[in-house]
Amino acid sequence: AQSVTQLGSHVSVSEGALVLLRCNYSSSVPPYLFWYVQYPNQGLQLLLKYTTGATLVKGINGFEAEFKKSETSFHLTKPSAHMSDAAEYFCAVSDGKNYGGSQGNLIFGKGTKLSVKP
Amino acid sequence: EAGVAQSPRYKIIEKRQSVAFWCNPISGHATLYWYQQILGQGPKLLIQFQNNGVVDDSQLPKDRFSAERLKGVDSTLKIQPAKLEDSAVYLCASTLTIGDTQYFGPGTRLTVL
């Protein structure tokens, strides 16, 4: 069965510092992997996704993630944190169900709340 | 392009009462999802519609939860009767078709007292 583990429910960084949010997955099929961001009182917004091809994926707002099959990881990074990055971040994996070849439904991790200190 | 709309944004009820949530997906999106997000957890899929048909409702507690999408556009999610553990944010999402990027609404925060 597919599952996602996000290490660290809270991460705090200083403005301008590196952001690293960790995600490990378990999947019985080649995974599709996603990172979503949720700002307070808002819905989730897709940051980036990995389906096939290049393992380093670039997303919006300067974020990127690297798919490492050997480590079953999909960590999210940003070289320099900005105050506006403060939010909750969710890693997700597709559930492996085949809907006509598509990615299936999403299984989310518990989320990591990112705080950015001035 | 208008996003996914949900109402109400907040709802407080007492246990054993009934409640309904409404979702209007992005125009033209055939696939609609309802998620439950309990505080401190990631969203969990409750039900998925393709047009007005149910694709996946395996995690919907059918003894108290029901959902419909009669005309293949708007959808309602109902809880009857509510329990304390139903306190959560209920998110609606839509996609153009199955497998596309999901667009989420702002959610309805339900508090059951």
**Six-digit token pair at B5?**
């709309």
Closest C-alpha to B48, from A91, A100, A33, A99: A99
Q: Is A83 left (phi over 0), alpha (psi -120 to 50) or beta?
A: alpha
CA distance B103 to chain A (A): 7
Task: Read off the pLDDT of each residue in A97-109 and give the average, rounded to a whole number.
Answer: 68
The DSSP 8-state label assigned to residue A85 in this structure reads G
Each residue's pLDDT, cut to its tens digit, for chain B (113 residues) gives: 679 999 999 999 999 999 999 999 999 998 999 999 999 899 999 999 988 899 889 999 999 999 999 888 999 999 999 999 999 999 999 988 766 788 999 999 999 99
State the pLDDT confidence band at A98, using cuts at 50, 70 and 90. low
A15-65 confidence digits (pLDDT tens): 999 999 999 999 877 788 999 999 988 889 999 999 888 899 999 999 999
A42 → closest Cβ in B33, B56, B106? B106
When CB atoms are compared, the residue of A41, A90, A105 closest to B42 is A90
For the record, the structure tokens of B40 come out as 């401190």
**Which residues make Cβ contacts (< 8 Å) with residue A84, sequence separation at least 6?**
none
Q: What is the CA radius of gyration of chain A?
A: 14
Q: Which conformational region is residue B51 in: left (phi greater than 0), alpha (psi within -120 to 50 degrees), or beta?
A: left
Residue B32 in tokens: 């609609």
Using the beta-carbon criterion (under 8 Å), do A111 and B102 form an inter-chain contact? no
Centre a 10 Å sphere on the Cβ of residue B36 and count the other Cβ atoms it contains.
21
* Residue numbers in A near B107 (CB within 8 A): 42-43
B53 lies within 8 A of chain A by CB: no
